[in-house]
Chain A
């Protein structure tokens, strides 16, 4: 085995970045398949380098290391430096691994698009940005990646920019993220003013002894604000459903597997700070649980195949938040990983379906695709089972661990556990509902649509991801805590939350969770494995509530009327009343005043000699009077 020096890790970022740069300038000239091949090669090479570099951690010989690339802003302790520890290694592998698969998938999915090369340039750029985020050795560089993935998200959501909705969605994503970044920036400022540096090592080394509780709480809360934006949690999740305007591989890569999990990563990375800030952790957990439930209910009501998955992603991210909020960082990262597998799988599967349906995304127009697309059917089925949390698939292990930890925390967390449990039920419900509506039953295809299985480049990634979704959970089971052991060096000195010890409690909790999933799954199957009229009756039984779910509680409208519209009115008032009227008016007013003063004294200049004499006389009198008064007369 070749030992890869950690100094060479910059290659992991440089490879996709180089690919992006190259494609940016010569992509059009390269033409359709070759541009894609180049991008895939860059991504795979990065995966290869990362895998080679990660080997020492697997063998247990590796030590976390940090390598400086170059100084950036020395005044605030910000430089380009790469940290290589198990956590970043795991993230890197997930990003490059899943990313490579999605690259390959896109070869088929984006076939024929006029901006094919540009798409791959963006994908490569995204990969590089995400790697910058996870490999950053300090908060400033983390923020670079953090914002760059936001940029890529913006570019890719509005990739089909001629569609106004896509352009608007891209902007919305960026702006909403920026609101979270506002918090993140404040966190950075707090960190800098507390520690005088932004580098991880500088911060974490001192965090334990010296950081005051209140400061830690504020830092934690502000970091969480950033994470809430990026990971689409309440109240900033509204951008993610709209982000589905982007091409489906983008949804899979950015808005399911990688970018949106950055928030979870940041909280996990900042574990030493959160450890000192239980309040912040509690808030994170509460937000996560609430979001998980909230989004799951909305997912139930969706009929767009991608929007279901979008809300599902929000809900699953809520789980991860719940985990890291409960200090179960390993569990959170674990779920992050498994979720990357199965959600990418689901999205890619959905993409395959959409591809087959000629771009249609409404599930009510699908049905019975089982025969037409067997591979997609099978792999997506695995994904559904995995996310629904049935053993022994990946989702079961990670979700189960989260619920176990939360339950074990007791107190307030018991409520959150209950919420998580209900969410598990709902998750199974909406996933099975989707699966049934798409693949089972009778075809409800519109005229002229002839679904067909997708090309090999698309199905191969599906299969690989399906395999990972099945086996991925086995890295960390209650029986063999492989992942936890692997990640240990990254959480040195941090007290991790754990599920209760003991086989009985583990089994009971698992059974409850799986039972909830089974109930949900069964309900969905029986409700939807029937003709459409029957579902409608089923849905009507919920009354108004179903409408709320369908419309996502009208959060967008509420934000629109409560925030956007008043904000815009305010801006208009400021621009056209205040600025033009008052501020500029004052300036012009001074000018007018000067003229008015001139006009006021103008009559003195009447042209009449006698009056001129009078002014002369008056001036003289005033002058003499002053002199005499002064002279003491």
Chain B
């Protein structure tokens, strides 16, 4: 089932590739139709997932590169489940808004479907090398999507994206190799293995853990991106076509947080515990910094891009809070951010299609000619701000409340990010959509077409659903998250703070002072 899920988009890519280039009217609809298939499969996986189970489910394992112990091993647990579903949802929608891709459409659709395979594969891979293969291989279609179909400085942005992230993954590869070799030296048969589950059993010295953690964390920090590794992101976002931005923000960035959660925490528990301050500080700096920088961006897309830096800071903070609530918040915030920021990028793209500009100053008073668009934008903006009842809040709230017992001072600083979020989002909304309509082009701006509405509506529905009933996801993630926490507690002398022990509050008081 999971293999099918991974390979269906690839199959779709092949099918599209076989359609002659002449029949360009066919490529997009076909691609969309084909990307619905993985959505169906992902849905089946989501609902047949056993919510009470912490370990991996639907595991499939086929030996792949036998001499090196590499296997095609897939499995899903509460942490990957949401991401797979999110990926499957965003692809048909992204393809649906890609009408403005005017040249080399076939290649575009093929690249998109290929990208989908890579992304789903990354989330499902249980073999570290397989993970790395997917992790690395998605760079190519994404690179093409930015570099071929992007804006003016697309080449610069695409190359920067590729090199920066490839640089991070280079050290990741070295660390993965180190783990495999370690496995060989610690097992009696001396075989290499990249099997995640087998590597979990390794006994890694604290020093080695630090190094390996560093290598993994650097790769993922660049992907997230964590301050100060974020500067590829605004460039990539601004230049990417709408679909590219949606997927970049919606899914690609999550590879970083997913990786931190999946690998860093479980493989290197001791290093995790001792490096919490570093990553948590970077996360919080990112939250505030991203938000502050977003406020004054003149480009709407860049603004949303920097807001991603801020939002993903919350995810990282939640991860390194090392509490149940924090981790759950991180998992769900991963999904939430994909939905809301994805939708915001869709909207910015729709604006761009109409006006061929993303500069905030070029717009004004658009709510009058385009009330529906304004409504959706405002809805998504509030979801992004973290309005309770919408999904963004659930993630942020769990992260903040979950982080506070372990990292009180940092969490307080992070909480200020929600104030800044309101400032940059609402100020942008104010400048773009309210006030008197400026300029003739804005006056005759078309409101959302039925198709565009149909693209945004499911996202809005999900935003609302996850905001009001996050249980649909949380109940599935909770056991896996607890398992991670248990593992850390077993392997280190770390004890997750259990809120409710009133004595802790005294501690937090004194820590706040220091």
Q: Which of A162, A194, A579 contacts B500 (CB 8 A)?
A: A194
Q: Are B500 and A186 in contact (CB under 8 A)?
A: no
Q: Are A570 and B502 in contact (CB under 8 A)?
A: no
Given contacts A178-B419, A182-B418, contact A158 B434 (CB under 8 A): yes
Q: Is B436 an interface residue (CB 8 A)?
A: yes
Q: Are A195 and B499 in contact (CB under 8 A)?
A: yes
Q: Which of B397, B422, B437 contacts A73 (CB 8 A)?
A: B397
Q: Is A574 an interface residue (CB 8 A)?
A: yes
Residues of B within 8 A of A148 (CB): 387-389
Q: Are B418 and A583 in contact (CB under 8 A)?
A: no
Given contacts A73-B474, A171-B427, contact A190 B505 (CB under 8 A): yes
Q: Which 5 A-B pairs have the closest CB atoms?
A: A196-B500, A167-B434, A189-B404, A144-B388, A584-B231
Residue-wise, chain A 178-198 has the 8 Å CB interface mask toward B (1 for contact) of 110110011011101111111
Q: Is A215 an interface residue (CB 8 A)?
A: yes
Q: Are B435 and A167 in contact (CB under 8 A)?
A: yes
Give A126-182 interface residues, CB cut-off 8 Å to B: 140, 143-144, 146-148, 151, 154, 158, 161-164, 166-168, 170-171, 174-175, 178-179, 181-182
Q: Is B65 an interface residue (CB 8 A)?
A: no
Q: Is B295 an interface residue (CB 8 A)?
A: yes
Q: B8-16, B52-60, B409-417: which lies at the A interface? A: B409-417
Residues of A within 8 A of B387 (CB): 147-148, 151
Chain A interface secondary structure, helix, strand, loop or mixed? helix
- Between-chain CB contacts (< 8 Å), 25 pairs: A70-B469, A72-B468, A73-B394, A148-B388, A158-B434, A162-B437, A167-B434, A168-B430, A171-B426, A178-B418, A178-B419, A185-B400, A188-B401, A193-B404, A193-B405, A193-B500, A195-B502, A196-B499, A206-B502, A214-B506, A214-B509, A215-B509, A218-B509, A574-B293, A583-B230
Residues of A within 8 A of B402 (CB): 75-76
Q: Is B203 an interface residue (CB 8 A)?
A: no
Q: Is A71 an interface residue (CB 8 A)?
A: yes
Q: Are A186 and B415 in contact (CB under 8 A)?
A: yes
Residue-wise, chain A 559-584 has the 8 Å CB interface mask toward B (1 for contact) of 00000000010111011100100011
Quote the shortest CB–CB distance from A113 to chain B (angstroms).
14
Residue-wise, chain B 157-180 has the 8 Å CB interface mask toward A (1 for contact) of 000100110000000000000000
Q: Is A587 an interface residue (CB 8 A)?
A: yes
Residues of B within 8 A of A583 (CB): 227-228, 230-231
Residue-wise, chain B 382-398 has the 8 Å CB interface mask toward A (1 for contact) of 10000111000110011
Q: Are A568 and B295 in contact (CB under 8 A)?
A: yes
Complex: how many Å from CA A179 to CA B416? 8
Residue-wise, chain B 17-29 has the 8 Å CB interface mask toward A (1 for contact) of 0000000000000
Given contacts A151-B382, A189-B401, contact A175 B419 (CB under 8 A): yes
Q: Are B502 and A215 in contact (CB under 8 A)?
A: yes
Residues of B within 8 A of A178 (CB): 418-419, 422-423
Complex: how many Å from CA A440 to CA B427? 43
Complex: how many Å from CA A570 to CA B420? 13
Q: Are B508 and A193 in contact (CB under 8 A)?
A: yes
Q: Is A74 an interface residue (CB 8 A)?
A: yes
Question: In the complex, which of the residues B365, B418, B426, B468 has the most CB atoms of chain A within 10 Å of its own CB atom?
Answer: B426
Quote the shortest CB–CB distance from A259 to chain B (angstroms).
15
Residues of B within 8 A of A627 (CB): none
Q: Are A587 and B231 in contact (CB under 8 A)?
A: yes
Complex: how many Å from CA A626 to CA B478? 59
Complex: how many Å from CA A188 to CA B402? 11
Q: Which of B296, B398, B501 contacts A575 (CB 8 A)?
A: B296
Q: Is B35 an interface residue (CB 8 A)?
A: no
Quote the shortest CB–CB distance from B49 to chain A (angstroms).
18
Q: Is A26 an interface residue (CB 8 A)?
A: no
Residues of B within 8 A of A78 (CB): 397
Q: Is B245 an interface residue (CB 8 A)?
A: no
Complex: how many Å from CA A73 to CA B474? 8
Residues of B within 8 A of A158 (CB): 434
Q: Are B289 and A76 in contact (CB under 8 A)?
A: no
Q: Are B292 and A574 in contact (CB under 8 A)?
A: yes
Q: Are B423 and A175 in contact (CB under 8 A)?
A: yes
Chain B interface secondary structure, helix, strand, loop or mixed? helix
Complex: how many Å from CA A76 to CA B423? 27
Q: Is A210 an interface residue (CB 8 A)?
A: yes
Closest partner residue, chain B, to A141 (CB atom): B388
Q: Is B258 an interface residue (CB 8 A)?
A: no
Q: Is A212 an interface residue (CB 8 A)?
A: yes
Q: Are A161 and B367 in contact (CB under 8 A)?
A: yes
Category for how many chain A residues contact B: 35 or more
Closest partner residue, chain A, to B509 (CB atom): A214
Complex: how many Å from CA A186 to CA B509? 13
Q: Are B400 and A211 in contact (CB under 8 A)?
A: no
Residues of A within 8 A of B504 (CB): 193-194
Give A578-604 interface residues, CB cut-off 8 Å to B: 579, 583-584, 586-587, 591
Closest partner residue, chain A, to B297 (CB atom): A575
Complex: how many Å from CA A140 to CA B393? 11
Given contacts A193-B405, A195-B499, contact A171 B430 (CB under 8 A): yes
Q: Are A185 and B418 in contact (CB under 8 A)?
A: yes
Q: Are A162 and B422 in contact (CB under 8 A)?
A: no
Q: Are B411 and A189 in contact (CB under 8 A)?
A: yes
Residues of B within 8 A of A186 (CB): 404, 412, 415
Residues of B within 8 A of A192 (CB): 325, 401, 404-405, 499
Quote the shortest CB–CB distance from A330 to chain B (angstroms).
29
Q: Which of B164, B388, B499 contacts A587 (CB 8 A)?
A: B164
Quote the shortest CB–CB distance from A115 to chain B (angstroms).
9
Closest partner residue, chain B, to A150 (CB atom): B387
Q: Are A193 and B505 in contact (CB under 8 A)?
A: yes
Question: In the complex, which of the residues A158, A168, A189, A587 has the most CB atoms of chain B within 10 Å of its own CB atom?
Answer: A189
Given contacts A72-B470, A73-B394, A74-B471, contact A570 B423 (CB under 8 A): no
Complex: how many Å from CA A604 to CA B260? 44
Complex: how many Å from CA A73 to CA B160? 40
Complex: how many Å from CA A214 to CA B507? 11
Quote the shortest CB–CB distance from A574 to chain B (angstroms).
5
Residues of B within 8 A of A144 (CB): 388-389, 393
Q: Is B216 an interface residue (CB 8 A)?
A: no
Complex: how many Å from CA A175 to CA B425? 10
Residue-wise, chain B 235-275 has the 8 Å CB interface mask toward A (1 for contact) of 00000000000000000000000000000000000000000
Residues of B within 8 A of A147 (CB): 387-389, 393
Residues of A within 8 A of B367 (CB): 161-162
Complex: how many Å from CA A185 to CA B506? 19
Quote the shortest CB–CB distance from B94 to chain A (angstroms).
26
Q: Is B232 an interface residue (CB 8 A)?
A: yes
Complex: how many Å from CA A215 to CA B510? 11
Q: Is B497 an interface residue (CB 8 A)?
A: yes
Closest partner residue, chain A, to B477 (CB atom): A75
Closest partner residue, chain A, to B291 (CB atom): A571
Q: Are B498 and A76 in contact (CB under 8 A)?
A: no
Given contacts A76-B325, A215-B505, contact A161 B292 (CB under 8 A): no
Complex: how many Å from CA A308 to CA B97? 51
Residues of B within 8 A of A568 (CB): 295-296
Residues of A within 8 A of B498 (CB): 196
Q: Which of B160, B297, B426, B500 contacts A195 (CB 8 A)?
A: B500
Quote the shortest CB–CB distance from B404 to chain A (angstroms).
4
Complex: how many Å from CA A568 to CA B297? 11
Q: Is B368 an interface residue (CB 8 A)?
A: yes
Residues of A within 8 A of B122 (CB): none
Q: Are A167 and B388 in contact (CB under 8 A)?
A: no
Quote the shortest CB–CB distance from A194 to chain B (angstroms).
5
